[in-house]
Amino acid sequence: METIKDIFTTYGPEYIERFGEAMPAEHRKAIHAIINCRTQEYGIAVYKCQECGRTHMLFRSCGNRHCPTCQNHKTRWWQEKQFERQVAGHHFMITFTVPEQIRPFIRSNQRIAYAAMFKSSSKALKALAADKRFVGGDIPGFFGVLHTWGRQLHYHPHIHYIVPGGAFSSKEGLWRPSRLDFFAPVKALSKIFKAKFRDEMKKAGLYGDIPSEVWNIGWNVNSQAVGSSEQSIKYLAPYVFKVAISNSRIVKVEDGKVTFRYKKGKSIRWRRITVDVMEFLRRFLQHVLPSGFMKVRYYGFMHPSSSVSLNKIAILIELANGFALKVSRPREVQPMPSPVCPTCGGRLEYLYSILPHQMPLYVDTG
């Protein structure tokens, strides 16, 4: 089976030669990492079998967040952390999406535009949560995940927020719950989101680079009541660390073209699409994030430096509901399997690593 690594190894150098001078540094770095993941480039991890006592050496992973080989264990770790932080009661999944007409601009100004999307959408949520017509609490708590790709790898930036149904009122010291089926009006969220994004672009001196029709159309905001946050966390967890496409979706690479599988929205049937390999690489790389950019962000009482603790919020929610609400605890997530001895099948115990600068000129890990 062809993998993302195979495609990058075969065609990555040609892509760099063709677009090298115009490529963002992050794209070149991602190509290098994917090609060299689990090779001598990143050193060796040394293990000992607990059964037969043999020593084994395995090439280390690159650790790049856009490498499909390196992210699965991080997804599990993040999911477990969110389960520990969830509060009781109903929740909402609220998604902020930008119009198609502004996406080329955002793609060319990712660091500034992504930050503005987070800032504008979070301020919109806070503003309407404080409105007594809807919630009436000045400190809501929520977290958001930036997602940039569509099913065919097209560029489609949007932010998913998981929002507990209520907010803390610092003036009264009370938990103010929202309705079970309604947090805030999406049309009002959309207007505030657009207006604040426009303000951020003016501050950055980029307002004139955006097509004027963008400000005359609606910006889509969707709000969905999801009950417990558990299912939403499970839905979002793969997007936190997963890359734009997994190896399992690659059907074939043939005659300089890549065929991969995808599903349309609300459909369970797999479809296929074939694109030129250079186009495939372009689609993949446009989802590489700016270096150091945080695609998951926490706000209000979910922020680590919040003035009101999660424990206090949990107690207030229980008081507001007569202790009838309990946090939904999912079944324990299975830990990542340990590497096994190729000789006897026993569990391998990690001993130490040999870093790249400590490597001999040639190492045989076979």
Mean pLDDT of the chain: 90
In this predicted structure, the answer to whether residue 363 has a pLDDT above a threshold of 60 is no
Say if pTM beats, i.e. exceeds, 0.85: yes
Higher per-residue confidence, 244 vs 96: 96
Using alpha carbons only, how large is the chain's radius of gyration in Å? Answer: 23
pLDDT for position 49:
95
In this predicted structure, the answer to whether residue 331 has a pLDDT above a threshold of 80 is no
Q: How far apart are CA 18 and CA 29, in angstroms?
A: 16
pLDDT per residue as tens digits for the range 296-316: 999 999 999 999 999 999 889
pLDDT per residue as tens digits for the range 109-133: 999 999 999 999 999 999 999 999 9
* Lowest model confidence (mean pLDDT) among 130-139, 326-335, 350-359: 326-335
Q: How far apart are CA 57 and CA 80, in angstroms?
A: 30
Cβ neighbors of 172 (< 8 A, separation 6 or more) are: none
Q: What mean pLDDT is predicted for residues 167-176?
A: 95
Kind of pairing between the strands at 155-164 and 91-97? antiparallel
* Lowest model confidence (mean pLDDT) among 38-42, 96-100, 164-168: 38-42
Q: Give the Å distances, CA to CA, from 218 to 119, 154, 198, 208.
A: 18, 21, 13, 19
pLDDT per residue as tens digits for the range 55-96: 999 999 898 888 887 765 667 777 777 887 888 889 999 999
Q: How far apart are CA 290 and CA 44, in angstroms?
A: 28
Count how many Cα atoms sit within 13 Å of the Cα of residue 290 in the half-sphere of its side chain. Answer: 13
pLDDT for position 80:
77
pLDDT for position 102:
98
Q: Where are the beta strands (DSSP E) in the chain?
A: 44-49, 55-59, 91-97, 141-149, 155-164, 166-169, 174-177, 221-227, 250-254, 257-263, 270-276, 296-300, 348-354
Q: What mean pLDDT is predicted for residues 90-112?
A: 96
